[in-house]
Amino acid sequence: MRAVVQRVLTSSVTVEGAVTGEINRGLTVLLGVEDGDTDSDVKYIADKVTGLRVFDDENGIMNLSVLDVGGEILAVSQFTLLGDCRKGKRPSYIRAARPEAAVELYRTFVDACKEKGAKVKEGVFQADMLVRIENDGPVTILLDSRKLF
């Protein structure tokens, strides 16, 4: 499982002209589910996302999590995070989980973040989405449950 986590001032998802999810201060999480991912991958990513200390404390040091600052999470499914561009110029998505499995693990991720106390808004799984991200910092963190980076 892969995630691109961005600290944001605001972020939203629009599908067919309607806003489906919108947050203020918090994290936008672009989540890619890999073939073979399990609940343990979800737990790892949810623990990391909710615990990442990327918000400034009173001394201006990134030492607080999204939970600490009462921020929100916007979760957006994005299978293209599993795109492999090592050969040629057209990404291969063979490592991405099939939609039937991916949607279940995406839902599990959202639920796991909520169980930790996070306020979570969402995009629409498998939809053509317009994602607006006002990256604060910019702060962008890459996560991989298989710890490839």
* Residues of the chain above pLDDT 70, percent: 100
Q: How many residues does the chain have?
A: 149
pLDDT for 63-83, tens place per residue?
999 999 999 999 999 999 999
Is 149 among the catalytic positions? no
149 has pLDDT over 90: no
* Residues of the chain above pLDDT 90, percent: 99
Question: What's the predicted TM-score (pTM) here?
Answer: 0.96
Q: What is residue 4's predicted lDDT score, i.e. its pLDDT?
A: 98
Mean pLDDT confidence for 38-50: 98
Question: In whole numbers, what is the pLDDT of the chain averaged over residues?
Answer: 97
148 has pLDDT over 90: no
Is 79 among the catalytic positions? yes
- Do 126 and 9 contact (CB within 8 A), yes or no? no
Q: What is residue 44's predicted lDDT score, i.e. its pLDDT?
A: 98
For 67, counting Cβ atoms within 10 Å of its Cβ (0-12 exposed, 13-18 middle, 19+ buried), the class is middle
Q: Which is the catalytic residue, given 6, 28, 50, 78?
A: 78
Q: What is residue 15's predicted lDDT score, i.e. its pLDDT?
A: 97
As beta bridge partners, residue 72 has 26, 119
Is 38 among the catalytic positions? no
125 has pLDDT over 90: yes
Confidence of residue 43 (pLDDT cuts 50, 70, 90): very high
The full 3-state SS of the chain, as one line of letters, equals: CEEEEEEEEEEEEEECCEEEEEECCEEEEEEECECCCCHHHHHHHHHHHHHCCCEECCCCCEEECCCCCCCEEEEEECHHHHCECCCCCCCECCCECCHHHHHHHHHHHHHHHHHCCCEEEECCCCCCCEEEEEEEEEEEEEEECCCCC
